[in-house]
Amino acid sequence: MVIVSVILLGILFNPLWAGPMESTQDSLLYDYLLQQEYERARNMVAEKSLGTSDSLYYLVSIENARIIDYESFIPESTFFHGLCKKARTHLAHIPDPTQDERFYKASILSMQGLHYLKQGRSLRGLQASRRGINLMRELEKEGFTPHPLVEARALYEYYSATSLRWVPFTGNPKVPLETLHSLGRSSSIHHLFTLQNLFWIYYDRQEYTTAYTLIQRALETYPHNTLMLRAAANAAYHMGNYTVALEKGYRLITKATHREPRNLADILSAAVIISRSYMAQENTTQAAETIRQALSHSPSEYEARIEWVQKHRETLRNLRENL
């Protein structure tokens, strides 16, 4: 199921939680999500008196963004899929859905596909993702081409082409990659999500300088976004720019610690980058202190169920043994 995972991970950071149109409410929601202000985003949806379809879709999208942020796919599984079921049930009973409502259904299917993957249910994840992408392709043929839809299709085609290159007719990855770069240069309110997607493409290709340049463009607008800080710190470390990796890592720890609730996965991730950077500089004293401080954070019962909290703690323990 490795290939399935790679394809779905390619859609993990797509901006499907943002609405399809360039509306004022979409811009405001987009801003809240990039500020990682999820409660304010929920309040905005409640206060705007949106239609039922719009409200349910935006609420699913907000929770999707929050769960990706905290990497809390396992402990939030029942809640998230229940919310998706409520939205999809409502959409299924609309006799003549609009293109927006069909887009909502496609997006929710794609989001659920990602969550199934992260919960170890790869086959179900692939099925949901394919259904979502097929619905988006139908809409695109009708001339419905909002930025998130085009991006989702391009991401799916890029990862399909690169992961299944041994299968005939999977396409040329250069074409969807060019589409993504074009979207990243656009004036659309969604383009910062595109830059994050492009970052991970180049990061996975080990083209760290290009990846870092892309994420820096996004950080210029939202310098405190922890997802972007984490990405930049990782790229800087792999570039051998340990000074920048340390600076981004410490900023990430500060932001992740003072969020409510804290993001322990980010705190530990930053500690891994910082300790490795110090080790590369042969500063084992600072590396050891970083590891000690990070491991002093006791996970709550909820945090202990987050896969990356477990993985980062294990990595830090291994680094400590190798000092």
For residue 168, give every residue at least 6 positions away whose Cβ sits within 8 Å of its Cβ, in sequence order, or none. Answer: none
Residue closest to 117 by CA, chosen among 69, 70, 77 = 77
Of 177, 205, 233, which residue is a domain's last?
A: 205
pTM value is 0.91
Same domain for 236 and 287? yes
How many Å apart are CA 236 and CA 241, to the nearest integer? 5
Same domain, 263 and 283: yes
Integer angstrom CA distances of residue 312 from 142, 222, 265: 46, 25, 7
Final residue before a domain boundary, out of 189, 205, 221: 205
Same domain membership, residue 161 and residue 243: no
**Within this chain, do residues 31 and 168 fall inside the same structural domain, yes or no?**
yes
Asked which of 140, 172, 205 is the last residue of a domain, the reply is: 205
Same domain flag for 128 and 233: no
- Which two structure tokens, joined as six digits, stand for 223? 């310098």
Tell whether 104 and 121 lie within a shared domain.
yes
Domain holding 214: CATH number? Answer: 1.25.40.10
Q: Confirm if 176 and 165 have CB atoms less than 8 A apart.
A: no
Q: Are residues 249 and 102 in the same domain?
A: no
In terms of domains, do 112 and 4 share one? yes
CA-to-CA distance for 158 and 170, rounded, in angstroms? 9
In terms of domains, do 39 and 186 share one? yes
Amino acid 307: pLDDT? 95
- Structural domain range at position 284: 206-323
Our count of domains for the chain comes to 2
- DSSP assignment letter at 75: T
* Domain co-membership, 322 together with 292: yes
Query: Please, is 167 exposed, middle or buried when counting C-beta atoms within 10 Å of its C-beta (0-12, 13-18, 19+)?
Result: exposed
Pair (109, 251) in one structural domain:
no
pLDDT in tens, the chain (323 residues): 333 333 444 444 444 444 555 567 778 888 899 999 999 999 998 887 777 899 999 999 999 999 999 999 999 999 999 999 999 999 999 999 999 999 999 999 989 988 998 898 988 988 898 899 899 999 999 999 988 889 988 988 888 888 755 444 556 889 999 999 999 999 887 899 899 999 999 999 999 999 999 999 999 999 999 999 999 999 999 999 999 999 999 999 999 999 999 999 999 999 999 999 999 999 999 999 999 999 999 999 999 999 999 999 999 999 999 99
**The dihedral of CA 204, 207, 208, 211: what is its sign?**
negative
Residues 201 and 213 in one domain: no
Q: Could you give the C-alpha distances from 233 to 55, 71, 209, 249, 309, in angstroms and in order? A: 35, 18, 12, 6, 18
Answer for the pair 160, 172: CB distance below 8 angstroms, yes or no.
no
